[in-house]
Amino acid sequence: MILSVSRRTDIPNYYSEWFLNRIREGFLCVRNPMNAHQVSRIDLSPELVDCIVFWTKNPLPLMDRLEELWEYPYYFQFTLTGYGKDIEPNLPDKRTVLIEAFRELSRGIGKGKVIWRYDPILFTERYTEAYHVRAFGEIAGALRGYTERVVISFVDLYAKTRKNMQGICMVDPEKEALTKFASGLSQIAGQNGMKIASCAEAIDLAACGIEHNSCIDKQLIERIIGYKISASKDKNQRKECGCIESVEVGTYHTCQNGCKYCYANDSVGRVRENYALYDPDSPILCSRITDQDVITERKVRSLKMTQMSLFDKKTQ
């Protein structure tokens, strides 16, 4: 199985101790978002976990303890944008902290295992196309040689996003302007030795040199683990999403980054309430198992096709 850690919250930033404790214990529990009293127990044995995909805006709290994951292959989706505190209020400074964190992580685990995400892109009177081009160019230059891929997307206005974005006046560019903008980002990425791809976008940007991306990427995982894997498209994601199936371990309404475009939190108050329940020793994130919960062992398996490794093929 592939572990997604996590689309729902920034586990490396805020809950790395919990996750490493679960790795040490060999299992974790996750509530069903549609039925809170349905709880899945997930075996974290290295024989079953083919790869871990981390999603984060700040990996620093986890980086000093990566040796504790020595039995597990993994890579990082690292979001690094040009927004200020008005959009991403609780993140460290990009120039002085996060860019260097990206470089340090890349030096430690290899540039092929740190994906830069400049997403989601939204436009306002402050964050214009020209602003994003400048910010993207500055970050791309700073990350040159430290990553092989950059992923972009445009903001999707889910109900929670609309609620969190109240007071922020967005601008919707014309299609021609959007295409010109995307071509500009593509050119900058290429100049800095990066492939550029889009995440779950219905719009076709192939003419701009931007391919569709798979964030939980079959080919990248195969390259990292040295084996072919048998995996299908993730049916729980949007049709535009190219990700393969994975097991999500996070909890909604727990991310403290406070990003205005977030789809995983519905209010600061609810995040605060959930964080008050955080126990690094609990099997479940920001919650406790109660007598009302029904716990079911989730059926998981390794996706490796172990008859022949990629390395065996190369030597034949």
- For the chain, the structural domain boundaries read 2-315
Average pLDDT score over residue span 48-54: 98
Contact 199, 213 (CB under 8 A): yes
274 touches 21 (CB < 8 A): no
Is the pLDDT score of 183 beyond 90?
yes
Asked if residues 149 and 190 have their Cβ atoms less than 8 Å apart, the reply is no
237 contacts: CB under 8 Å, gap ≥ 6: 200, 243
Tokens of 37: 């009293």
Task: For residue 135, give every residue at least 6 positions away whose Cβ sits within 8 Å of its Cβ, in sequence order, or none.
Answer: 81, 82
Please state the φ and ψ torsions of residue 206, each to the nearest 5 degrees: -60, -35
E-only strand ranges, 80-160? 114-121, 149-154
Sign of the dihedral through C-alpha 90, 91, 92, 95: negative
Length of the chain: 316
**Residue 167 structure tokens:** 């007071």
Instruction: Give the Cα separation of 278 and 203 in Å (integer).
Output: 40
In this structure, are strands 304-309 and 227-229 parallel, antiparallel, or unpaired? antiparallel
d(CA 264, CA 246): 18
**pLDDT category, 161, cuts 50, 70, 90?**
confident
265-311 confidence digits (pLDDT tens): 988 999 999 999 999 999 999 999 999 999 999 999 999 997 655 55
**pTM (predicted TM-score):** 0.93
Structure-block tokens of residue 227: 């084996």
Q: What is the mean pLDDT of residues 127-147?
A: 97
For 55-73, write each residue's pLDDT tens digit.
999 999 999 999 999 999 9
CB atoms within 10 A of CB 201: 20
Mean pLDDT, rounded, of the chain = 92
Instruction: Say what the pLDDT of residue 311 is.
Output: 56
Q: Is the peptide bond before 6 cis (omega within 30 degrees of 0)?
A: yes
Q: Edge to edge, what strands does the sheet with 27-32 contain?
A: 27-32, 35-43, 294-297
Of the two residues 231 and 20, the one the predictor is more confident about is 20
Give the C-alpha separation, 110 to 153, whole Å. 24
Q: What is the pLDDT of residue 82?
A: 97
Q: How many helices (H) and strands (E) does the chain have?
A: 10, 13
Is the pLDDT at 159 greater than 90? The verdict is no
Tokens in use for 148?
């092989």
Which residues contact residue 118 at a Cβ distance below 8 angstroms, ignoring those fewer than 6 apart?
79, 80, 81, 82, 136, 139, 150, 151, 152, 185
Residue 56 pairs with which residues in a beta bridge?
78
Phi and psi at 290, nearest 5°, equal -120, 175
Q: How many angstroms separate the CA atoms of 293 and 275, rounded?
A: 20
